[in-house]
Structure 1
Amino acid sequence: MGDAQRRYGGLAADSLGTDGDRPPLVLLHGLTYDRSQWGPTLGALATLDPDRRVLALDLPGHGGSPARDAYGARDVTDVIHEAVTDAGLDRPVMVGHSLGGAMATIYAARYPSRGVVNVDQPLTLGPFGGFLRRNEPVLRSPEYLRVWGSLLDGMGIDGLPPAAQELVRTATTPRQDLLLGYWNDILVTTDEAFTEQRRRDLERIRSLGIPYHYVTGRDPSPAYRAWLESALPDVTVDVLPGGGGHFPHLADPAALARIIAGIGTDSAGAR
């Protein structure tokens, strides 16, 4: 699969493959990372589904993409849509890890899409919202990396293969402006309002018949699974056998590639 590093809608990107009868894929990485995190998945996909059209983007402020004054979810998904449009993609399958999973979900609720693959991004805040708000003074101080480090400790990085561990630990830029910017929606919104907005996004996706996969390396809690299925009864929950904590796409990229290759290849989700 050939590739070319380009810019679409102002965002740095790897543009792979050629247009064909299979829906194109758009890959969105997690907070503080960049499109290089998709390398193992793209390698597996190249074997499974050669020459599939793929656009792997650096989110605003990440990798080679320019910073912005604000990183609200609607603004960021608008920029992503500019890149999708500039690349000439028609109703892509949106694939995102962590923050990227949230952006893929919000994108599909707002713009034409043929599927969503959300890799380990719960759409309710749970304890996370309270944790961020309690630590907001630290996040705004020179000690902000203490907050980021405490989150990394719970992501299961030590269970990844050595090369994947290296990628997670080195290909990251935990800048203060990114953490505060992308988490601002959480800091200024109540848990109830935040969760209700995500529910509306899922109900919109349901109404459009867009296939939705929630991919994780560990079984979701019964409470979260019940919430997810109440908003989106047809959701597919994929627990990858390789585990990988918060990074199942790096623990078992071949399994994720199989999921991605299969979603959105029929008429479901066309609009």
Structure 2
Amino acid sequence: MTEHSWGLAADDHGTADDRPPLVLLHGLTYDRRHWEPVLRELAVIDPGRRAVAFDLPGHGGSPRRASYRSGEVVEVLHQAVTAAGLDAPIIVGHSLGGALATLYAAAHPARGVVNVDQPLLVGGFRDVLLQAEPTLRGPGWPQVWESMVAGMHVELLPPAARELVRTATTPRQDLLLGYWAELLDTPADELRKLRTHDLAAIRARGIPYHHVTGNPLPPAYRSWLESALPDVAVTVLPDSGHFPHLAHPAELAKILTG
């Protein structure tokens, strides 16, 4: 069922029961269609499970905003989750959605987080953005996004998944500048402190956290993550680039039902 009355466009699957509902959040410029392969697998191995795939603000069928700063977006998401009657869901996010899922669980009731290929420390990526900022703010902004996509290794995906990456996306300058604003204007050390604080809140509330990635985590990053969340689960789904959920939808579905 497609739903537009919760403030964000969404596809609502399954029915409410004693299983924790799933909230699915896509990555930057993409939309909720990216969860279709995983949802098909869920329907097979966990039939009837309530799962809602939202379009993030400014994406797909969801309304645009003047600001896409993370705190504001998380509150919009919480309003939509509440309107949908999703009580303490498992929050699943890919890329940008993984960061938002983390911030959501740090601030609102949640029974788990599954972060799909989103590092929470972005110092190196921030440096790249700062170098590209003049281009990003001008007419050549598509070049910046195209260079990002070129590093996501879409070629590793099966043909249907590659087509989904190509078509279920609407890159816009306002989305890139809006969602990346905090990376551009917040020092890396401050961002690290904020993410450490978020993970401390998740740990204090006993919320399970699962990081799914296409490649082994760099040792320094994994050390930081495990120091903040000693019980974190890390799963590598190889040969998937930046899209483990599209390369291995059955495996991710099993993680969501575990």
Superposed pair shares fold, TM > 0.5: yes
Matched, 1:23 2:11: no
Matched, 1:72 2:69: yes
User: Secondary structure at 2:4's aligned position in 1?
Assistant: strand
Q: Deviations over 1:42-66 (max 9, x none)?
A: 0001001001001110000000001
Q: 1:255 corresponds to which letter in structure 2?
A: E
User: Secondary structure at 2:10's aligned position in 1?
Assistant: strand
Q: 2:146 corresponds to which letter in structure 1?
A: G
- Superposition pairs of residues 227-242 of structure 1, within 5 angstroms: 227-241=224-238
Which of 87, 102, 109 pairs up with 1:90? 87
Matched, 1:244 2:240: yes
Across the aligned residues of Structure 1 and Structure 2, the Cα RMSD in angstroms comes to: 0.7
User: Secondary structure at 1:46's aligned position in 2?
Assistant: helix
Q: 1:9 corresponds to which letter in structure 2?
A: W
Q: 1:195 corresponds to which letter in structure 2?
A: R
Partners of 1:119 and 1:87 in 2: CA distance = 23
Matched, 1:177 2:174: yes
Q: 1:9–1:79: 8 Å Cα contact kept in structure 2?
A: no
Ranges in structure 2 where 5+ consecutive residues have no aligned partner: none
Q: How many residues align?
A: 258
Q: 2:88 corresponds to which letter in structure 1?
A: R
> What is the TM-score of this pair, normalised by structure 1?
0.94
Partners of 1:93 and 1:42 in 2: CA distance = 15
Q: Deviations over 1:205-251 (max 9, x none)?
A: 0000000000011111111111111111110001114x210000000
Which of 19, 36, 41 pairs up with 1:39? 36
Matched, 1:261 2:257: yes
Q: After TM superposition, which residue ranges in structure 1, 4 or more long, deviate above 6 angstroms?
A: none
> What is the TM-score of this pair, normalised by structure 2?
0.99
Deviation at 1:8, TM superposition (A): 4.3
Matched, 1:144 2:144: no
Deviation at 1:10, TM superposition (A): 1.1
Q: 1:49 corresponds to which letter in structure 2?
A: D
**In percent, how many aligned pairs have the same letter?**
62
